[in-house]
Amino acid sequence: MDLERLTRIDRTTFRIEPHGRMRVPAVIYGDEALVRQMDDKVAEQLCNVASLPGIVAAAYAMPDAHWGYGFPIGGVAAFDPDEGGVVSAGGVGFDISCGVRTHLTGLTKKDLAPVGDRLAEELFRTIPAGLGRHGRIRLNDRQLDAMLAGGAVWAVAEGYGREEDLARIEEGGRAEGADPDAVSPRAKERQRPEMGTLGSGNHYLEVQEVDRIYDPETARAFGLFEGEIVVTIHCGSRGLGHQIGTDYLREMVVAARRHGIDLPDRELACAPIHSEVGRRYLGAMRAGINCALANRQIIAHLAREVFARLFPGLELPLLFDVSHNTCKWERHIVEGRERALYVHRKGATRAFGPGHPDLPEPFRTHGQPVLIGGSMGTGSWVLAGNRDGRTKAFASAVHGAGRALSRHQAVKRWRGEELVRELARRGIVVKCQSPRGVAEEAPGAYKDVDAVVEAAEAAGLARRVAHLRPLIVIKG
Amino acid sequence: MELVVATPEGHELFAHQADIGVRGWGPSREKAFEQVAMALTAAIVDPREVEAREPVGICCEAPDDEILLVDWLNALIYQMATMAMLFGRFEVQIRDHRLEATAWGEPIDPAKHRPAVEIKGATFTEVAVRRLPDGRWLAQCVVDV
């Protein structure tokens, strides 16, 4: 991106003043190198978002932002329903409530040594990953609707995981206001074989080692210690969410004109929050959130079973579960006035700080864990939300490294088998059914996650707590 | 958007930062739709690895060509997901904005096909259905993976 087009506010904040159809400015967070690396399309897409009805304050891009469809990935935008504000299916994305959860094991690398390759093999065998590998759980119509209404709360009641997990999931494990009837029969059909599956693309289950601690006090409060083994799961709402996105994107494209919304790009398709389509989408999207929460809860349960077989009595308590493709109803202070807004985070993580009333008790003092997935070669991060009043972009932070190269370019540059061997030499075991899938997800195809996280901290979006190094990677 | 390939009919993948673009072209709108469906398969697996033995019927109708293209690809994505199939051959007929098609394929065999990705949905990004100055038809969009 050409920095000449931007107004520089400080070292990590850039701004595009409103012009043309823009109703508010666009704000891009990141250091100079990261912003330069961003495609011009990010600015273009952000300016388009800034032109949507009812947008409040600004359209924001996180330091890991990259060119998406309609909204940039790494984009945040809030809308006021009483000022004609909209909800956008494209602004949430196809993988509704895709997110990350991390479980603590209390083990160290030394404890893993005696089980050798069995842990990786059993995880790969137990957790269905990739196209064509279906789960063993089949829900009938009634159970499916109960899952869509209940999320992780439903999953725990069905025996997947423990009651105490729920306080460590956003919204207590269940999005309020989910409407299973607003979800099409096709979406439900698509979900049927996919409950408890990881999916493919950038989704994974990793066994990781905490190799660097940046904020010892917060790390201690989170239960993280140097050398500890943790288990991290990255996946979303599977076929159900994809189909909800597909169904409502189309419906909103067709309905936009009727609502008097002139779209600069069809992918920005949206509907007034107060419209019939808008309300129905919110009900379906929340059902999609619940599907993702239930799905991650089930996968965690499968991982716990594997660990319990190899380490009898081990419990794997949940650190936290965050979602990074959502639209949520939240209260925020804007120019000194509290307003209830619908905040879209597309490839961005909510990052509530210490004292936030919506946070569960364990995180009131230090802020919530903000879990950042990296690429399989470089590692992931645990960040924490900043103190209220210092939060920016409606209390949002980055979600991952963000792609630097397309899948197309990655496949031309790397070969899956070689990458698996190279990572093995570095002590990282990769289990994946598709070598091409590994090549598309090559560590070099991603931006430097460390630089992304440093920029997020410098920009005041969140603060660094710990770095996680992958040891075992299970991919689709 | 440009089409550098001179062949009368064909398909290719094109780059999008996070996802994959699928493009097909041919002497008619129908052929371009058949070819873009081949590109959809190519995003997952080499289409030559897919045996076109079981037919599946698909119908869709849309207010314009672009939405019809997105509907067509999404119908295939839905069939692939729910029937756990991959498709290697397509026959498309379009009247006005109503599409009737048959896709032939086989059940996904993870060991044989080693599918690279699962496709979540077709998007309206870079979407285009149009007749090129040389008379060929082009159909394309970005799919989310």
For the segment B44-100, what is each residue's pLDDT rounded down to a tens digit? 999 999 999 999 999 999 999 999 999 999 999 999 999 999 999 999 999 989 999
ipTM, two decimals, is 0.92
Which of A94-103, A193-202, B20-29 is the least confident region?
A193-202
Confidence of residue A68 (pLDDT cuts 50, 70, 90): confident
Chain A contacts of B110, Cβ < 8 Å? 130-133, 433
A415 part of contact set with chain B, CB < 8 Å: no
Inter-chain touch B117–A250, beta carbons under 8 Å: no
Task: Note the pLDDT of residue A349.
Answer: 97
Inter-chain touch A132–B127, beta carbons under 8 Å: no
Confidence of residue A130 (pLDDT cuts 50, 70, 90): confident
Q: How far apart are CA A54 and CA A392, in angstroms?
A: 19
Give the residue from B67, B76, B79, B118 with the most A CB atoms within 10 Å of its CB, the best one to mutate. B118
A189 part of contact set with chain B, CB < 8 Å: yes
> In Å, how far from its chain's centre is CA A265?
24
**Does residue B55 fall inside a structural domain?**
yes
Torsion angles phi and psi, residue B76, rounded to 5: -65, -40
Inter-chain touch A134–B84, beta carbons under 8 Å: yes
**Does residue B8 fall inside a structural domain?**
no
Q: What's the structural domain count of chain B?
A: 1
Identify the CATH number of the domain in which residue B125 sits: 3.55.10.10
B124 part of contact set with chain A, CB < 8 Å: yes
B49 part of contact set with chain A, CB < 8 Å: no
Q: What is the pLDDT of residues A187-219, one digit of tens each?
A: 999 999 899 999 888 899 999 999 999 999 999
Q: Which residues of B78-117 are buried (b: 16+ CB within 10 A; e: fewer)?
A: bbbbbebbbbbbbebebeeeebebebbbbebebeebbbbb
Mean pLDDT of A341-358: 95
Do β-strands A99-108 and A204-213 pair in parallel, antiparallel, or remain unpaired? unpaired
Q: How far apart are CA A75 and CA A42, in angstroms?
A: 9
Task: Note the pLDDT of residue B1.
Answer: 54
A with B: how many residue pairs have Cβ under 8 Å apart? 135
Catalytic annotation, residues of A: 399
> Using an 8 Å Cβ cutoff, are A170 and A289 in contact?
no
Torsion angles phi and psi, residue B114, rounded to 5: 40, 60
Give A 434-473 residues with CB within 8 A of chain B.
Answer: 434-437, 440
**Does residue B10 fall inside a structural domain?**
no
Torsion angles phi and psi, residue A105, rounded to 5: -115, -25
Chain B contacts of A408, Cβ < 8 Å? 13-16, 20
**Does residue B42 fall inside a structural domain?**
yes
Helices B65-83, B29-42: axis angle to 10 degrees equals 40
Residue A389 scores a pLDDT above 80: no
> Using an 8 Å Cβ cutoff, are B97 and B62 in contact?
yes
Inter-chain touch B115–A409, beta carbons under 8 Å: no
Confidence of residue B104 (pLDDT cuts 50, 70, 90): very high
Mean pLDDT of A272-297: 98
**Does residue B2 fall inside a structural domain?**
no
Q: How far apart are CA A1 and CA A170, in angstroms?
A: 34
Q: Closest to A433 (Cβ–Cβ): which among B67, B74, B114? A: B114
Which of A35-44, A50-59, B11-20 is the least confident region?
B11-20
> Using an 8 Å Cβ cutoff, are A293 and A301 in contact?
no
- Superfamily of structural domain A3-88+97-404+446-475: tRNA-splicing ligase RtcB (3.90.1860.10)
Chain B contacts of A414, Cβ < 8 Å? none
Mean pLDDT of A16-45: 96
Q: How far apart are CA B13 and CA A466, in angstroms?
A: 39
Inter-chain touch A250–B70, beta carbons under 8 Å: yes
Q: How far apart are CA A147 and CA A152, in angstroms?
A: 8
Give the residue from B72, B124, B140, B143 with the most A CB atoms within 10 Å of its CB, the best one to mutate. B124
> Using an 8 Å Cβ cutoff, are A100 and A233 in contact?
yes
Mean pLDDT of A87-106: 96
Q: How far apart are CA B127 and CA A88, in angstroms?
A: 18
Q: How far apart are CA A201 and CA A34, in angstroms?
A: 23
Domain boundaries, position B117: 15-144
Q: How far apart are CA B145 and CA B140, in angstroms?
A: 16
